[in-house]
């Protein structure tokens, strides 16, 4: 939210959703084994050295999360694809969401009356 809630960015909401998804990813559990921790590469290259260029690093880089807005390609690939910023990608996602909002059928008068009745009965029980 911007300006103390006086304005709102749908793009920021989409970006925040991706960040929250990344934060909650570990709650599903993370598999830890020799392959996922790149044991062989660490052993070969040595602790404290650069193993980012190793094959299994690239194979395992997306294990931690799959953020739909974040491009993890090399910069050359990103540039060839149009160099879209995360805000531009989020905007495309907002447009797609708004275009594909499912149509809802409003409640009928009798359904609304039934809901009102249930609420009134519950209010009486609580009071």
Q: Are 90 and 15 in contact (CB under 8 A)?
A: yes
What three-state secondary structure class fits 110?
A: helix
Which neighbouring-strand residues pair with 7?
2
Domain ranges of the chain: 3-126
Distance in angstroms (rounded) separating the CA atoms of residues 46 and 43: 5
Tell whether the model's pLDDT for residue 1 goes beyond 60: no
Radius of gyration of the chain, Cα coordinates, nearest whole angstrom: 24
Tell whether the model's pLDDT for residue 88 goes beyond 90: yes
Distance in angstroms (rounded) separating the CA atoms of residues 79 and 71: 11
Residues 35-87 have pLDDT tens digits of: 888 888 888 888 788 877 888 887 877 676 678 888 877 889 989 999 999 99
């Amino acid at each position: 939210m911007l300006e103390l809630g006086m304005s709102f960015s749908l793009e920021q909401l989409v970006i925040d959703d991706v960040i929250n998804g990344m934060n909650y990813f570990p709650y599903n559990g993370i598999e830890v084994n020799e392959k996922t921790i790149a044991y062989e590469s660490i052993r070969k290259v040595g602790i404290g050295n650069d193993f980012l260029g190793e094959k299994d690093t690239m194979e395992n880089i997306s294990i931690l999360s799959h953020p739909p807005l974040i491009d993890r390609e090399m910069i050359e690939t990103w540039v060839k694809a149009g160099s879209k910023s995360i805000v531009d990608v989020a905007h495309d996602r907002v447009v797609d969401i708004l275009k594909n909002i499912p149509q809802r059928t409003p409640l009928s008068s009798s359904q609304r009356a039934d809901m009102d009745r249930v609420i009134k009965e519950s209010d009486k029980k609580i009071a």
